[in-house]
């Protein structure tokens, strides 16, 4: 089953061409899926389905493709910018694969984390650990979560993580993230490709953010922008924390390490369970790490005792002297494991090419919201 899933993922990302029969099946399923997504969005656009509206400004952060465009670090970036503009802000996430996804709840009140990763979900837990002074809530019903944020925390601005397709809640601003290296994946809809919606859906965005942009920054061609504001962002890796051998893995309140403190003389065995594991491996190498082995898992993978034993065994067999993983993986390892060798955790920050213009855009939209 695992190998079949990986084969399908390779087809979706364009790494391999599928056999004729499988390709035909996936194409037919994509057409059915595409029809459904268009009918759903048209129903909201025409008013056949109604979006609920919160009595505060709502900013949505999302994308057109499945995973890997940097929504979580961008959510952190936007939340912090909005707070710096002087507004009370709360972040709401669906809580994918978390026990509280259906019931909803408060992951963090801005001061203390109130849920563990299994309850909150890995991405909301990472948001809560990263955002100080900003409440984080989860729940499938984001209107209910939004009202909770307003009543409990007097939120003036609610930021929705991964919500471009969540049409049941009205938003005052849609920030759409596109990976500058492959904005529309292989150009095909799920399950033949990675598009959640046709590329034409970008017309429902209010601003585009091109992530993983090269430096110097360069704007996308006008046909892609379609007269919308466009911002370019880079992913800035940093060492979030470092655990000595025998220390239990958990999020720490320490200041992050600088890139210069990376111990390049060590031999690292790396592992991750994110949307694009290859990107993490590339990042480690660019940071100067000597990688002697790597293991990738599916996105949101929950690590079992057997997984950890296999990772440690492989690390020893390859002669590794330390381990490396991502902040998102740390959210799933938090409080559960301790390793017999050093482990470093890599996080990602977003940096925009024109932060002042972005602030003005956000400020103007908040001011115009009824």
Give 139-187 as a DSSP string. -S-HHHHHHHHHHHH--SEEEEES-TT-TTB--SEEEEEEETTSTTTTS
Output the six-digit token pair for 290: 């000597």
Q: Residue 85 has what DSSP assignment?
A: T
Residues 182 and 241 in one domain: no
User: How many CB atoms neighbour CB 147 within 10 A?
Assistant: 17
47 in a structural domain: no
Say if residue 288's pLDDT is above 80.
Answer: yes
DSSP character at residue 204: G
Q: Is 39 contained in some domain? A: no
Residues 143, 260: one domain?
no
Claim to verify: residue 212 and residue 145 sit in the same structural domain:
yes
In this structure, the answer to whether residues 173 and 295 fall within a common structural domain is no
Question: What was the pLDDT predicted at 67?
Answer: 79
| Residues 203 and 310 placed together within one structural domain of the fold | no
CATH number, position 286: 3.40.50
> Do 96 and 216 sit in the same domain of this protein?
yes
Same domain, 281 and 252: yes
Lowest mean pLDDT among 58-72, 79-93, 246-260, 305-319: 246-260
Between CA 271 and CA 5 the distance in angstroms is: 19
* Cis amide prior to 19 (ω within 30 degrees): no
Closest CA to 110 of 83, 90, 140, 82: 90
Q: Are residues 278 and 201 in the same domain?
A: no
Q: Tell whether 14 is covered by a domain.
A: no
- What CATH number is attached to the domain comprising 72? 3.40.50.300
Cα-Cα-Cα-Cα torsion 116, 119, 121, 123, nearest 10 degrees, comes to -40
Task: For the chain, state the CA radius of gyration.
Answer: 21
For residue 333, being part of any structural domain is answered with: yes
How much is the pLDDT for 10? 73
Q: What pLDDT is recorded for position 328?
A: 96
Domain that holds residue 94: 57-233+351-368
* pLDDT tens string 175-221: 999 998 888 888 999 999 999 999 989 999 999 999 998 766 665 55
Q: What mean pLDDT do residues 28-56 have? A: 97
**Nearest CA among 161, 173, 178 for reference residue 68:** 178
pLDDT value of position 320: 98
183 and 328: one domain? no
Whether 311 and 355 map to the same domain: the answer is no
State whether 342 and 290 are in the same domain: yes
Q: What is the pLDDT of residue 148?
A: 98
Name the band, by pLDDT with cuts 50, 70 and 90, for residue 314: very high
Percent of the chain with pLDDT over 90: 77
> Mean pLDDT over residues 233-261, rounded?
79
Domain presence at residue 36: no
Q: What is the pLDDT of residues 74-115, one digit of tens each?
A: 999 999 999 999 999 999 999 998 999 999 999 999 999 999
| One domain for residues 168 and 260 | no
- Do 275 and 297 form a contact (C-beta atoms < 8 A)? no
Domain count, the chain: 2
In a domain, 152, yes or no: yes
CB 369 within 8 A of CB 57: yes
Residue 19 counted as domain residue: no
- Average pLDDT score, the chain: 91
Sorting pLDDT into bands at 50, 70 and 90, what band is 53? very high
In a domain, 278, yes or no: yes
pLDDT level of residue 252 (50, 70, 90 thresholds)? confident
């Amino acid at each position: 089953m695992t190998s079949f899933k990986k084969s399908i993922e390779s087809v979706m990302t364009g790494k391999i061409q599928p056999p004729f029969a499988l390709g035909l099946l996936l194409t037919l399923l994509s057409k059915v899926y595409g029809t459904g997504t268009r009918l759903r969005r048209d129903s909201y656009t025409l008013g056949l389905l109604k979006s609920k509206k919160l009595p505060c400004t709502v900013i949505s952060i999302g994308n057109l493709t499945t995973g890997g465009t940097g929504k979580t670090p961008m959510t952190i970036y936007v939340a912090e910018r909005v707070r710096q503009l002087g507004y009370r802000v709360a972040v709401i996430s669906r809580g994918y694969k978390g026990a509280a996804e259906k019931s909803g709840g408060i992951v963090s009140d801005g001061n203390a984390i109130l849920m563990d990763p299994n309850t909150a979900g890995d991405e909301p837990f990472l948001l809560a650990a990263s955002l100080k002074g900003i409440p984080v809530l989860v729940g499938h019903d984001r209107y209910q979560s939004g009202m909770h944020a307003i009543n409990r925390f007097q939120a003036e601005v609610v930021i929705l993580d991964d919500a471009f397709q969540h049409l049941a809640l009205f938003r005052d601003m849609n920030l759409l993230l596109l990976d500058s290296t492959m904005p529309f994946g292989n150009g095909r809809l799920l399950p033949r490709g990675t598009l959640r919606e046709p590329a034409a859906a970008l017309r429902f965005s209010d601003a585009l953010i091109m992530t993983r942009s090269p430096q110097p920054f360069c704007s996308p061609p006008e046909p892609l922008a379609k007269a919308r504001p466009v911002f370019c962002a880079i992913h800035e890796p940093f060492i979030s924390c470092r655990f000595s051998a025998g220390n239990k893995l958990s999020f720490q309140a320490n200041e992050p390490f600088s890139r210069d403190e990376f111990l390049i003389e060590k031999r690292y065995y790396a592992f991750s369970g994110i949307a694009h594991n290859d990107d993490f491996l590339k990042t480690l190498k660019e940071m100067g790490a000597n990688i002697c082995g790597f293991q990738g898992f599916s996105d949101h993978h929950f690590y079992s005792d057997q997984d950890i034993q296999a990772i440690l065994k492989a690390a020893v067999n390859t002669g590794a002297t330390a381990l490396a993983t991502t902040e998102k993986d740390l959210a799933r390892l938090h409080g559960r494991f301790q390793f017999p060798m050093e482990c470093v955790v890599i996080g990602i920050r977003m940096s925009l090419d024109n932060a002042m213009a972005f602030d003005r855009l956000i400020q103007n939209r908040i001011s115009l919201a009824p």
